[in-house]
Amino acid sequence: MPTDPKPIMQVKNLEAWYGESKALHGMTFDVHEGELVTLIGRNGAGKSSTLRSIMGIVGNRTGSIRFHDQELIRKRTFQIARAGIAYCPEERAIFAGLTVAENMTLPPILSPGGLTDTQLLETFPNLKARRKSGGSKLSGGEQQMLAIARILRTGSRFILLDEPSEGLAPVIVKEIGAQIQKLKEQGYTIVLVEQNLQFARLVADRHVVVENGEVVDTLTNEDLASNLERVKTYLGV
């Protein structure tokens, strides 16, 4: 749980567009250092668009995204990455024609403290066994682990993770959950988009509920248990 009362990220009135189409209508939420915050909500609510907006990869965005003491709203994606934010997209973005080892070493080291290639392979033993395999030969779970491993090399301590459990078998989801839990124990700050409430509950400190491109509720993980029916209504399950 957070110890510093000042959030390291403050998103205020974030609006975003894809061409003429507006996806975010004023997202406002905070993230504290060491915290794992989920964005939950039904399909199309604007969760992925929030992560993409933070990274500057939507058509247009307005509002404010303060990270540490920097305003990111007018920064470009490479500047946002250099500010210390790592992004793991829903589609995982593994290069099919490159091996695991090559995919892993693609992102540049942006700040000290990232894991070395040896540490990464120790952290993800499945990838060690597959390090010479092409990206296209990997299972969904292996691709997801590679996508996470790759960003740990950069030295960023703030991670945006988009639906890591999507399309994976329960046993693999459990493994990914254990890896995320370990990252949290190592002090990484994580914003996690997740549809799988059971998974979200295992790892989160706090849940931000998104509906129609806005935040409609925020619950601690403890609150979630006693408000499960209400939250299920938000998710349409």
Q: How far is the CB of 194 from ligand ATP (least distance, A)?
A: 9
> Which member of 21, 97, 171, 237 binds ligand ATP (CB under 6 A)?
21
Q: Does 157 bind ligand ATP (CB under 6 A)?
A: no
**Alpha-carbon dihedral 110, 111, 113, 119, rounded to 10 degrees:** 10
In whole angstroms, how close is the CB of 196 to ligand ATP at the nearest point? 11
The residue within the footprint of ligand ATP, chosen from 7, 34, 41, 114 (CB under 6 A), is 41
Nearer to ligand ATP, 21 or 118 (CB): 21
Q: Which is nearer to ligand ATP, 58 or 80 (CB)?
A: 58
Q: Is 34 in the site for ligand ATP (CB under 6 A)?
A: no
Closer Cβ to ligand ATP, 43 or 226, answer by number = 43
Q: Using CA of residue 178, residue 206, residue 57, residue 41, what is the dihedral sign?
A: positive
Q: Which residues bind ligand ATP (CB under 6 A)?
A: 18, 21, 23, 41, 43-49
